[in-house]
Structures are given as C-alpha cells and as structure tokens.
Amino acid sequence: MIILHSKEAFKSFRQNLAKDQITVGFVPTMGALHNGHLELVKKAKDSTRVVIVSIFVNPTQFNNPSDFSNYPKTLEKDLELLRAMAVDCVFVPDNQEIYTHQPKLKMDFGDLERVLEGSFRPGHFNGVGIVVSKLLNIVKPHKAFFGQKDLQQVAVIKRLVEDLSFDVEIEVVPTVREEDGLALSSRNLRLGKEDRIKSLILYKALTFSKTELLAGRDWLEVRNVVEKMFAAQQGVELEYYELVHTSEMKILDCLVPGVPVSICTAAYVGEVRLIDNISVLD
C-alpha cells in the first residue's frame, strides 16, 4: 500500500495508472475509519482495479470550531485497516496541501442546502463542495463511493458532478449499522456508555415511523409521536425530523405514489451530534 502526502507525488502515481488505462475507484474519508468506510472500500474493490482512499479532515465544512477540534483522529489505526483491505494508495494531505490559500469561491446548491443539514449548519455544503471538487480534480477517479447515511451530502455531490460535468460515476452504498441498529459514524467514538444507549432512539424512531407510514398512518401524527419520544429521553435533543423526497431533499407532508421518500433526522446525544435516515419508498 502506497501512502502519499503531496499533490505532486500523487500526480506522478496517477499518471502511471492513466498510461495503463487502469480503472480507479475513490473513497474520500475524514479518517476515524469504521466498517461503514470499509464497506465503501469493498464496493470499490469489486468494481475497479485500483482503489484510492483519502484521509483529510476538511476544516471548511465545519461550522462549529469545537466539532472540528474534537473530530476523532486515528491515522495509524486507519492505515492498518486499509492495509488489511489491500487498498492500493492512501492520500493523506495536510491542510496546506489542499488549501494553499483560503478559498474565495462560494458554492450554492439551491434548495438542496436550504433544509436539514444546510439549515442547521450554514456553510457546510459549500465546504463539502469545494473539498470534493478539489479531491476529484486531484484523484481523477472513474468511480467515487459515498455512504447513504449522509443522504443530503450524496444529493449535493451528485448535483456538483452533474452541474460541473465531472467525469466520474457516483456510487451510493447502503448505511452500515451496528447489530442494535445504530448507524456507524466516526462521531460514535465520542459517545460515552450511557449516551451510546440513548443514541438508539434515532433508529428506533426511524423504524417505527416507516412501519406506521406504510400502514397508512398520517405523517404529521407519526412525527408528533416521535417528537414526544425524543422529548421524554433525557440527554437527547432532537434537531429535525423530516419526510423528504430522497433525491431532491424537498420536505414532504405525506407519501407520494411513485416518488422515492426517506425520513431524515439529526439529534444531539449529550454533546455529540448524530444524523441518520431511512428509506420509506424507493
């Protein structure tokens, strides 16, 4: 496994792959890897000859400085996991390598960023769009792999790729969960024992809501029940709980025949902010 830290070194590596017309799969990460990331790597290995993983904690997508400073950093463990997965190359740039100067460009993803994460984390998707653009331009993959857990981010990246004509195929991999249903997230490392138990309310609420909706219950009634569930759970603060059009992220008030629908949520469990979603209609 090759570990590269500079754009110049990576450029030389990538040029050699291009000469041999080798298909490249790319998994961008912020480190603190878990089985969800490894599932992305597995999917990349299944469909491309060379797999490249990046590890870069992107400061421009954090609207909360303490969230950035507290983000878990486990580089040596990450590299061991990737080596065991037989990843071909890991790109580990520092901040100066990615941002030689403070970006002046501002990206606006329209309605996609006016709701949910975009509403509660101003500037978040601008930071995501800039760093993903930079990484796609550096890595030049044929396919890039992202997790369904970050459903709104996936929608933003798909729009970015379409609107700017990036020559890459975006593949979305289903959310990987613990046995008890908690969606895998690097932020889970920050959960204490009690908060880890409390965090299960997210998955419990999502599965309850899906069952009720498919049984014909009114969405507003379902959401009202869920909001009471969260209010009764001490140490958990619900931020949003919405029914949305899966690809367009438009907020809905009912199921629409023929329209892909998901439920998205975010909540603070103690000081840790978690997000999750579930597909109701494909």
pLDDT digits (tens, 9 = 90+) for 92-128: 999 999 999 989 999 999 999 999 999 999 999 999 9
- 182 among the known binding-site residues? no
Residues 6+ apart with CB under 8 A from 78: 29, 31, 32, 33, 55
User: In the chain, pLDDT over 70 holds for what percent of residues?
Assistant: 100
In the chain the domains, ranked by start, together with CATH numbers, are: 2-173 (3.40.50.620), 186-281 (3.30.1300.10)
16-20, 77-81, 166-170, 233-237: which has the minimum mean pLDDT?
Answer: 16-20
Q: Which of 37, 101, 124, 245 is catalytic?
A: 37
Q: Is 149 annotated as a binding residue?
A: yes
Closest CA to 266 of 65, 57, 20, 67: 67
Band of residue 41 on the pLDDT scale cut at 50, 70, 90: very high
Percentage helix, strand, coil for the chain under 3-state DSSP, each rounded to 5:
45, 20, 35
Least confident of 13-27, 36-50, 159-173: 13-27
Annotated ligand binding at 47? The verdict is no
In the prediction, which pLDDT does 65 show?
Answer: 86
Q: Residue 239: which H helix or E strand, with range?
A: strand 236-245
The predicted structure's pLDDT at residue 75: 97
pLDDT of amino acid 20: 80
- With bands split at pLDDT 50, 70 and 90, how would you rate the model's confidence at 18? confident
Locate tokens 């421009």: which residue? 60
Closest CA to 259 of 202, 213, 209: 213
Are 245 and 255 in contact by the 8 Å Cβ rule? The answer is no
- Confidence band, pLDDT 50/70/90 cuts, at residue 243: very high
> What average pLDDT does this structure show over 127-131?
97
Question: In Å, what is the CA distance from 256 to each residue of 65, 154, 214, 247, 279?
Answer: 39, 22, 12, 14, 13
37 is catalytic: yes
